[in-house]
Amino acid sequence: MPNLPRFYPLEGMANVLWKNYVILLGGKPAYNNETRNFEEDKMIKYNTITGESEMLVPANNERVGCSAVITEDVIIAMGGQENVNSAECYNFQTNSWHALPVMRERRYLATAVVCPM
């Protein structure tokens, strides 16, 4: 598959599969000496068939080392290095982020799973 756009590779990002896309959320440049301007709230939609990618609406919070899950057309992002108690959701239909209630426990480098009922 084609490479991601310039200024990557990343580390500490979350990813989910949505239709034919891999959604990359947050992260930071993989090299400590990286000098390019990078913000940890970015979200990239990568088409696994064509290799094309596009930036989506940035998250409300920086997300390095967060976890994310997807259910239907909604991504839920939780925790991270700087925002360990926060959670927010992105809706593909409205193309917007919304804050969720603060989590009781801190989450950094955690995993998350959606369990169908």
- pLDDT digit string (tens) for 30-50? 766 554 555 577 888 999 888
Closest to 23 (Cα-Cα) out of 37, 58, 32: 58
Q: What is the largest CA-CA distance in the chain?
A: 46
Q: Is residue 22 assigned to a domain? A: yes
Q: Is residue 57 assigned to a domain? A: yes
Residue 52: which residues within 8 A CB-CB, separation 6 or more? 2, 46
Q: Is residue 109 assigned to a domain? A: no
What is the count of structural domains for the chain?
Answer: 1
Q: Is residue 93 assigned to a domain? A: yes
Q: Is residue 38 assigned to a domain? A: yes
Per-residue pLDDT tens over the stretch 50-107: 888 888 998 888 888 889 999 989 999 998 887 678 899 999 999 999 999 988 887 7
Q: What is the pTM of this model?
A: 0.80
CA 21 to chain centre: 13
Q: What domain range includes position 18?
A: 10-99
